[in-house]
A and B are shown apart, each in its own frame.
Chain A
Amino acid sequence: MVVALTIFIPLIFYVIPPAFNIDYAETANEFAQSNLGFVTLLIIISGAVFAGDAVSGEFEKKTGLLLFPTPQRRTSIFVGKFIAALIATFLVVILYYLITLLEIVQIYGLSEISIELLKSFLLAMIYATSVVAIIYFFSSILKRTITSALIGFFLLMMILPIITSVLMFVEVDPWFIVTHSASLITDVLGVGGGFQTGPRGVDLSSFDPDFYIGIGVMAAYTIFFFFVGIIIAKRRKME
């Protein structure tokens, strides 16, 4: 399902404009921005699918009864499961960017590929580590696989973005929220937002995430939730 979505989403942006006789975006970066606007969604879905059952699955399906007595430390087992979820999510991100890249080459030519696209790709990889770590954490504290996957999904898709919007509305910079930092994935492409047609209200552009703080926040979320997840998973008892 995740692979199907990874192929399907970028193809929409490639197939729909000619089908409705609409021109593609003027520049390759504009095209990439519209295309990559959905990569965060895909990372979250991928993280929920691959990391949601990493720990809780072992306890829920009792497969841990076979796995834990093996001559491996529990830490190694759980780190291995984290790395497996991470590699699967990375493959999804790589596939998404590869399809986008091929589309850009076909529409705009090889010369239009910018270094910003590589920055965007690396940011997506860092964000993927944060998402996997957060969902992995829920997987280690919750009993059921579906609950951990859903809580992780809704936290990243709805709750954190809503908190971000509320904070921005009351003019508080939400720099510490990982989903806010994730907007760097498209921000680095340097393509403009909408036209300001009315009097200027709250200047939301002043809350654009800082590049270095954004990386720091994503890395901090990854390290914190990974370690807490590992510690809880290691202490968890099979019921």
Chain B
Amino acid sequence: MMETKEIKKILITTIIMALLLSAILLTLPNTSAQNGGMQVPPSQAPIKITELSFSDDEPLEDSEITIFATVLNIGATRVTNITLSFYLDYDVIRNVTEITINANESIIVNMTWVAEKWNHNISVMASIDDTPLKDSMVGKDIYVEAKPIGDISSLVLALMIIFIIVIGTVFIPSIWMALTNAPKKVNK
């Protein structure tokens, strides 16, 4: 009888231990993910840049425009430590670091840029731990209209100065000679 009871105790303890262990094992990944860790490789993180837009699509040179990038987490877990890099003609102009996006949520990251004239390509790329995320680069072209240069009055003034100097070269000596009553020099 005693042996059977002991066997039962051992069996029950073993079952309870197994259940506890499996419960711990099942809950462990969830806890880890909820604490911010990501269980997929960084390059395959479910992050997409869904939109890249500008506060003004046809800005004037030297005007300050805001660049908006909408970043969406399409996965079921929170993703942390995302870096968003903004590029101007393929050169990094700004990095926004330590971005966290909850599951199925999107955020808008923005930066300001002083518009330089003519055509430019502005792009944005997401990365985690310096590893670019797959299909996370979005680019857009922008045309910046040049500021009007100069004024008419300066040009007219410059032309007038040139004419006065050229014409003056002929008349000023004559006027000077007439004023000083000097005899007119004649070429021989």
Residues from chain B with a CB closer than 8 A to the CB of A215 are 150, 154-155, 158
Is A184 among interface residues, defined by CB-CB distance under 8 A? yes
Is B56 among interface residues, defined by CB-CB distance under 8 A? no
For the complex, what is the distance from the CA of A200 to the CA of B177, rounded to whole Å? 62
Q: B-side binding surface: helix, strand, loop or mixed?
A: mixed
Q: Kindly list 10 other residue pairs between chains A and B, CB separation below 8 angstroms, not including A69-B187, A73-B184.
A: A69-B188, A73-B187, A75-B169, A129-B162, A190-B146, A200-B89, A205-B116, A212-B150, A216-B158, A230-B169
Q: Interface extent on A, as a size class?
A: 35 or more
A75 → chain B, closest Cβ, in Å?
6
Among B91, B119, B155, B188, residue most surrounded by chain A Cβ atoms (within 10 Å): B155
B120's nearest neighbour on chain A, judged by CB, is A196
B150→A211 contact, CB < 8 A: yes
A122→B152 contact, CB < 8 A: yes
Within 8 A of B (CB), among A181-218: 184, 187-188, 190-200, 205, 211-212, 215-216, 218
A184→B170 contact, CB < 8 A: no
Residues from chain B with a CB closer than 8 A to the CB of A131 are none
Is B165 among interface residues, defined by CB-CB distance under 8 A? yes
Q: Given that A71-B186, A193-B118, A223-B162 are contacting pairs, would A119 and B155 also be in contact in the complex, using a CB cutoff of 8 Å?
A: yes
Is B134 among interface residues, defined by CB-CB distance under 8 A? no
A64's nearest neighbour on chain B, judged by CB, is B187
Listed in ascending order, the chain A residues whose CB lies under 8 Å from chain B are 68-76, 79-80, 82-83, 86, 115-116, 118-119, 122-123, 125-126, 129, 184, 187-188, 190-200, 205, 211-212, 215-216, 218-219, 222-223, 226-227, 230
A196→B170 contact, CB < 8 A: no
With beta carbons under 8 angstroms apart, the residue of A82, A129, A192 that contacts B146 is A192
Among A119, A184, A223, residue most surrounded by chain B Cβ atoms (within 10 Å): A119
Residues from chain B with a CB closer than 8 A to the CB of A197 are 121
With beta carbons under 8 angstroms apart, the residue of A82, A118, A192, A194 that contacts B143 is A192
B166→A226 contact, CB < 8 A: yes
Residues from chain A with a CB closer than 8 A to the CB of B91 are 199-200
Is B161 among interface residues, defined by CB-CB distance under 8 A? yes
Q: Interface extent on B, as a size class?
A: 35 or more
A45 → chain B, closest Cβ, in Å?
21
Listed in ascending order, the chain B residues whose CB lies under 8 Å from chain A are 88-91, 116-121, 141, 143, 145-152, 154-156, 158-159, 161-162, 165-167, 169-170, 173, 184-188
17 intermolecular pairs with C-beta atoms under 8 Å apart:
A68-B187, A69-B188, A73-B187, A86-B166, A126-B155, A187-B149, A190-B145, A194-B119, A195-B119, A195-B141, A196-B89, A200-B88, A205-B117, A211-B154, A212-B150, A219-B158, A230-B169
A52 → chain B, closest Cβ, in Å?
18
For the complex, what is the distance from the CA of A143 to the CA of B129, rounded to whole Å? 74
Residues from chain B with a CB closer than 8 A to the CB of A192 are 117-119, 143, 146
With beta carbons under 8 angstroms apart, the residue of A119, A211, A222 that contacts B162 is A222
